[in-house]
Structure 1
Amino acid sequence: MQLTRFTDAALRVLMHLAQLPPGAHATTPDLATQYNVPYNHLNKAVHHLSKAGWITATRGRGGGLRLAVAPQDLRIGAVVRSTEPPGEIIDCDTQPCPLAGACLMKRALEDARQAFYDRLDSYTLADVARRPLISLG
């Protein structure tokens, strides 16, 4: 299973914000440049994270992005579930399949996806963003 670029961008934003010193903030343009992600793409991820209540975005002078939750309270599985598109891993319904009724692959893949999310739920943002942020400038 490969995560979407949207999920990757959202996770990077959260990890970056979790590593900032207290009171510090980041801006979407700065993050887009630092992580080499198109601004519009990163802005959509920021909007999603803000709507979810995980970050706050303040406009204007002195504004920027900050975490709205404690890193130890945010489960990575919750973030990935919210950013990955819904649907099944394999599409068995679009075309007739001679294995229909005897195939357990769809169930196996769904079990694997659930195990993947369950494992991600064992990690918090604090767990994956422990190292202090290094300056690239």
Structure 2
Amino acid sequence: MSIKRVTEAELAWVNRQYEQIGFMPSKLKNEIIAIVMSQGHYAGVGRLVMLNAHEAEMGGIYILDAFRGQSLAHELVSFLVEESKRQNLKTVYCIPFEELQHFYEKFGFHAFDASASNANPRILEKYHWCLKTYDKNVLLLKLTHDG
């Protein structure tokens, strides 16, 4: 298992995966995108979308069916959390499906009230889009880095 940052040449592969599962496409301009590899094969993808200099959204976490059950999602989220620290981000939001709440809590994410006055407007817009778009319920989670 290894994790690498996506290059321009790999972006088409990333967006094919996202298109298949109904996720928004990625672009490198304001994103840090990571691919998790297993035995030399692309096994999954995830991203940090920069909202501003201090906030990002972690999302697009997807492990291909053939590679599930290998703890690759855990490795990928760990990598992105560490990357958010390297980028000196203060806040990382996440909008996972409800059944993934406990998974994300292991990394320090906690439920965040969408009506809070300090909520990033871009993340609120995406959260409400997800609530309308997906058949499954989604949550708004937040990770805060001190310092």
Q: Give the TM-score taking structure 1 as reference length.
A: 0.26
Q: Which has the larger radius of gyration?
A: 1
More helix by share: 1
Which structure would you say has the larger RCO, counting Cα contacts within 8 Å and 6 or more residues apart?
A: 1
More strand by share: 2
Q: Give the TM-score taking structure 2 as reference length.
A: 0.25
